[in-house]
Structure 1
């Protein structure tokens, strides 16, 4: 597409931006009043109403065996180092990963499509004429683990409970839910105000459905170790609080023969053990106490997989391609702390991070420098803004950093020395321009207060990785330190935003919704305990661009809005991008089978792999 002359562009820009920000109707290309077996944000569904199973599974995978692993990802209030509650959906306590496997949802996501969901508890959904109402038809065979029916009353109770008391990852998507009504035992109606994102429902239909009876008898918002009554393919088995937990496959699971479940949930038991540091977990893997591990420490991957079981061929190493989803690994700079509110200070901190030196000395050359909040996706901004991006950005020009309108902001490459004088000199100048003057070993403000910056970490590995960064901060006068805390304290302080600097890694949906982004970047979540808005971003211009994402009517406009948002976030430097890896580095005891083709939009090994008796026998694990 040829670029418009600037005069013509400005004439069109206001109208284009206004059109982009008009509230979008949910699934505008989908008929209302017709029962649908699935939903997709844009375009057609891959699977027809009578599909037998998802294409990415081995439909006749054998059942049996134990899968003992260290979870590589988790959500809600979950923790991989300890747990003190079995309620994963409240904003209190530390829950074990994979509690969600014990619950079913109205609909389930297909992992070979970017945004499609298909009926699970619900066998279909009907949209109202105004597309603000969604009526779900629930399967009559749906049951909780105690044999009692799962009804629309349970679902309505769940959504109201999540809106009032749920973890922010649940409650925020329900902000504009007006009501959840059980029309009868098998009919649930969710109604929204019209202010919701057009694609909000794609998040909501995946929320675990709870038992009304259980959470009437047991307080939802208290930390408790009473296993909740679920309806999913697994239920809580034996556990020792803070040490280990087992999930047992439900033999008479109501959905075991339905299309959404075939070829999945193959292990009889899934066990998770909790370790206070990565090295202890690795030692357990070497002994075979853990049988699957995704490796995140480059030094270990490059040098430590030479233990006896590995050399004997009992353990396999494999790299699987990463998902086609935007991801972010970065350091949050907490602007609730006054010293970090000036963007020049945040940029100075970023210039102190010598990625090239870190990559060579700690990562064995395996990681790439991250530049975007949406790495590994088409949403990463490149070059100068396109005319379509400018249509969104120009009306906000007075509120945005000037850098937004040039080349997409990138973190400069260092000379790899570990102490790049040029970059540190630039950082020192930024601090001086922000009012921090050198006084002895430190820079101070006009009141004589030092500029302090403390990294909060929960693993020794990060102490090693961030120590050179801290040394560079000290070199330009920042009173920089690292604080290593235990997992429970880390979780609590993160949820309450009690930190200066904190690094984290996240993955977004392949088709991000406004709700997804609000949790991370919107003003409304800056003060919400447990939200992922760790830097405390509160910027009306960012809010406007998030609204543009929510209003996008097709993937092209979604991509434009996401790239515009990426430009602004990168220029603001709320999150300092760190690094990313193109593949999953996986090691496992060679006793499993897995589908030949990994799905593009998910990698739930615990549900897609299976126990191979023949392989297990060969390595003495039968």
Structure 2
């Protein structure tokens, strides 16, 4: 249960990295990449898979037919996007609610390869040159690059974009640009990005995947959340028809300038992509059953187990299929807001976690389909196991006294209940933790020394979470916490999340396979604890955590990165800023049987809307031609 919220797709929406041209030296880290040489691609560690003369990515079908409409419910989003509504067409600013997949309208300097953990290849830029001090990156832009109105996309537009995003952009963009000193248009087709030296070596992999905006458009139009004028883009799609808050269509650009580039071949096959917005999952499912929605991922276990008995499914017109999840660190967890005094004691946060009976919830709500999450980096090598290795201890020992002692022992795991829904042992343990933290029982509630109740309210935007969290709330009440659930509409939910106005709030998210410091900062670093729009939902503010984030960001090879990430995971789990909940090993996909797709799913993303196509014969068989 729970859809994926993500950092901006590095290419441009999902969390990842970006690109350019001549292969890196074999087996050498990005920090050791040759300088003053035009490169066709960049990778954080080691070789690039694709050579300078590659013609397409291996995971696409270059012969895929083009045309048709793909009407779907996206599974993920980033920046200020939301799956429930929209009131702006500007996806790049902190405020407002923008529609999912606006990123499809904008090209970037480089794009990710979905079958490599950290590689990027040139799109607008056909090459990049790294300066001797590794703080400057000079991009050669393709002269054929064009905006949708036919005007050239130039280095001046790119320089304008990076300065604008640094100054006024959503934190997903502004944070990685913190140490950008200047963006300079040397000439119409040459761009230089100059950094201060305080950036990490992998920062550039995020930055090159940012959307390039039109200077002319955003000079004539405000760069804020009031913008409902479709922005001028440059990519394979542009905004077509739309109804604010209801639906939006993206139309394929017939004369898209980059259609035949190696990074684009076999992709963007649908003539029209339509995104629907529903605030009620049941209504969305009814639309899918009628064929008004053609593809969706199922996040409600009950529906996946019992809901697929409608006529179109029985007739074989609708398919249920599980696709393997990406090999990327994922988290689904509840943040306990430490900006509020009553949650600053980790014993209180631990007590709240003990009240969640996952085993009962799994059996009664999830039909046995979910596994218990333990880590913020689930489904990856970054999840800590057992006791710290000597290499991890080398990072942890200097922080002794600043981090919980538990971080030096077995990796913290969530207690396993007896599955009764009211495990007396675990609730007794929670009650003792509250007593130890200074909360005393007074009638039905625990109070502090001033008589104030310990209250805890879940903020949710979907009725399904009311059902799932209600038993959790009842257990919290049993140990004396004045617990409740507040269901709000999409706009209020987004506003309260951005302003950190909640007690408890849940999130599902993925990090890149090779996280940068910028990716980690938005979730865990002190500098984001008070920065609106970030994903530091618990308000984590710890110099020790900052040091571990910096260590991960500075890693020069994958082994060092893994060690630093595992050390960070140990401390996060011991602090209990987040209460891990659950995860699925696969994508539960349901779709009308009218599509073709490549035989091999890439390991590091699942952009169905970019890689699939309409199979006319299949569509005709089910009456969707």
Contact 2:445-2:479 at 8 Å conserved across structures: yes
Equivalent residue, structure 2, for 1:117:
120
Contact 1:456-1:501 at 8 Å conserved across structures: yes
CA distance in structure 1 between the partners assigned to 2:29 and 2:485 by the alignment: 46
Contact 2:62-2:265 at 8 Å conserved across structures: yes
Contact 2:63-2:266 at 8 Å conserved across structures: yes
Deviation at 1:449, TM superposition (A): 0.2
Contact 1:77-1:167 at 8 Å conserved across structures: yes
- SS of aligned partner of 2:32: coil
CA distance in structure 1 between the partners assigned to 2:29 and 2:197 by the alignment: 9
Deviation at 1:223, TM superposition (A): 1.9
The answer on 1:38 being equivalent to 2:41 is yes
Deviation at 1:27, TM superposition (A): 2.1
The answer on 1:435 being equivalent to 2:438 is yes
Equivalent residue, structure 1, for 2:269:
266
CA distance in structure 1 between the partners assigned to 2:170 and 2:570 by the alignment: 29
The answer on 1:411 being equivalent to 2:414 is yes
Equivalent residue, structure 1, for 2:541:
538
The CA deviation string for residues 44-82 of structure 1, in whole angstroms up to 9 with x for no partner, is: 100001100000000110000000000110011001111
Deviation at 1:398, TM superposition (A): 1.3
CA distance in structure 2 between the partners assigned to 1:368 and 1:276 by the alignment: 27
Deviation at 1:26, TM superposition (A): 8.2
Equivalent residue, structure 2, for 1:358:
361
> How do residues 277-288 of structure 1 correspond to structure 2 at under 5 angstroms?
277-288=280-291
Equivalent residue, structure 2, for 1:198:
201
CA distance in structure 2 between the partners assigned to 1:311 and 1:235 by the alignment: 37
Aligned length, in residue pairs: 598
CA distance in structure 1 between the partners assigned to 2:170 and 2:225 by the alignment: 12
Deviation at 1:160, TM superposition (A): 0.3
Contact 2:29-2:46 at 8 Å conserved across structures: no
Unaligned runs of 5+ in 1: 1-24
Equivalent residue, structure 1, for 2:18:
none
Contact 1:334-1:500 at 8 Å conserved across structures: yes
> How do residues 521-560 of structure 1 correspond to structure 2 at under 5 angstroms?
521-560=524-563
Equivalent residue, structure 2, for 1:143:
146
Equivalent residue, structure 1, for 2:210:
207
Contact 1:32-1:128 at 8 Å conserved across structures: yes
Equivalent residue, structure 2, for 1:312:
315
CA distance in structure 2 between the partners assigned to 1:269 and 1:231 by the alignment: 16
Contact 1:26-1:198 at 8 Å conserved across structures: no
CA distance in structure 2 between the partners assigned to 1:222 and 1:351 by the alignment: 40
The CA deviation string for residues 240-298 of structure 1, in whole angstroms up to 9 with x for no partner, is: 00111000000100000110110000000000111111111000000000000100000
The CA deviation string for residues 113-168 of structure 1, in whole angstroms up to 9 with x for no partner, is: 00000000000100000001100000000000000000000000000000000000
Equivalent residue, structure 1, for 2:238:
235
CA distance in structure 2 between the partners assigned to 1:227 and 1:585 by the alignment: 33
CA distance in structure 2 between the partners assigned to 1:73 and 1:596 by the alignment: 23
> How do residues 62-77 of structure 1 correspond to structure 2 at under 5 angstroms?
62-77=65-80
> How do residues 461-610 of structure 1 correspond to structure 2 at under 5 angstroms?
461-610=464-613
Equivalent residue, structure 2, for 1:100:
103
Match of 2:622 among 603, 608, 619: 619
Contact 2:458-2:484 at 8 Å conserved across structures: yes
- SS of aligned partner of 1:183: strand
Unaligned runs of 5+ in 2: 1-27
Contact 1:298-1:364 at 8 Å conserved across structures: yes
The answer on 1:129 being equivalent to 2:132 is yes
- SS of aligned partner of 1:398: coil
Deviation at 1:224, TM superposition (A): 1.7
Equivalent residue, structure 2, for 1:293:
296
Equivalent residue, structure 2, for 1:18:
none
Equivalent residue, structure 1, for 2:451:
448
Contact 1:78-1:95 at 8 Å conserved across structures: yes
Deviation at 1:514, TM superposition (A): 0.5
CA distance in structure 1 between the partners assigned to 2:262 and 2:225 by the alignment: 36
Match of 2:256 among 253, 256, 263: 253
Deviation at 1:29, TM superposition (A): 2.2
Contact 1:74-1:98 at 8 Å conserved across structures: yes
Contact 1:62-1:266 at 8 Å conserved across structures: yes
- SS of aligned partner of 2:401: helix
CA distance in structure 2 between the partners assigned to 1:254 and 1:605 by the alignment: 22
Deviation at 1:28, TM superposition (A): 2.3
The CA deviation string for residues 503-557 of structure 1, in whole angstroms up to 9 with x for no partner, is: 1100000001100000000000001000000000000000000000011110000
Contact 1:214-1:228 at 8 Å conserved across structures: yes
CA distance in structure 2 between the partners assigned to 1:424 and 1:197 by the alignment: 45
CA distance in structure 1 between the partners assigned to 2:594 and 2:555 by the alignment: 46
Equivalent residue, structure 1, for 2:371:
368
Q: 4+ residue stretches of structure 1 with deviation over 4 A?
A: none
The answer on 1:82 being equivalent to 2:85 is yes
CA distance in structure 2 between the partners assigned to 1:222 and 1:486 by the alignment: 19
> For the aligned residues, what is the CA RMSD?
0.8
